[in-house]
Amino acid sequence: MPYATKSQIERARQPDLLTFLRRYKPDELIPTGPNAYKLRSHDSLKISNGKWCWWSHDKMGGVNALEYLIKVENMKFPDAVQLINEQCGVSASHEERPVSVPKAERPKAEFLLPVRFQNNRRVTAYLLSRGIDMSVLDYCFQHGLLYEAADYHNAVFVGYDGKTPRYATLRGTLSGSSFKRDVTGSNKRFCFSIDGQNDSKLNVFECAIDALSYLTQVKMQGADWRQESVLSLGGVYQSRPNETPKVPTALQGYLERYAGVQEIVLRLDNDAVGRGAASAISRAISDLPVSVELPAEGKDYNEWLMRQKGISPRQRARNEPER
Q: Mean pLDDT over all residues of the chain?
A: 85
If pLDDT is split at 50, 70 and 90, which confidence band does 95 have? very low
Bridge partners of 211, per DSSP, are none
Give 32's contacts (C-beta < 8 A, 6+ positions apart). 38, 46
**Helices (H), ranges, the chain:** 6-12, 17-24, 65-71, 77-87, 121-129, 134-142, 208-220, 249-257, 272-284, 301-309
pTM across the whole model: 0.69
Q: Which residue has the higher pLDDT, 178 or 245?
A: 245
Eight-state DSSP code of residue 116 = B
Q: What is the mean pLDDT of residues 133-157?
A: 96
Q: What domains appear along the chain, each with residue ranges and CATH number?
A: 6-105 (3.90.580.10), 121-315 (3.40.1360.10)
More reliable by pLDDT, 86 or 231: 231
CB neighbour class for 102 (10 Å; exposed up to 12, middle 13-18, buried from 19): exposed
User: Predicted confidence band at 20 (pLDDT cuts at 50, 70, 90)?
Assistant: confident
Least confident of 100-114, 190-204, 235-249: 100-114
DSSP string for residues in 39-108? ESS-TTEEEETTEEEESGGG---BSBHHHHHHHTS---HHHHHHHHHHHTT-BTTB-SPPPP--GGGPPP
Res 92: pLDDT: 44
Q: What is the tens place of the pLDDT at every residue in 250-305?
A: 999 999 999 999 999 999 999 999 999 999 999 999 999 999 999 999 999 999 99
**Per-residue confidence band for 140, with pLDDT thresholds at 50, 70 and 90:** very high
Question: What percentage of residues in the chain have a pLDDT greater than 90?
Answer: 54
pLDDT at 91 over 60: no
Beta-bridged to residue 191, according to DSSP, are: none
Q: Flag whether pLDDT at 144 surpasses 70.
A: yes
Q: Report which of residues 12 and 106 the model is more confident about.
A: 12
Give me the pLDDT at residue 224, please.
97
Q: Which residue did the predictor score with more confidence, 56 or 22?
A: 22
Q: What's the CA gap between 103 and 106, in Å, rounded?
A: 5
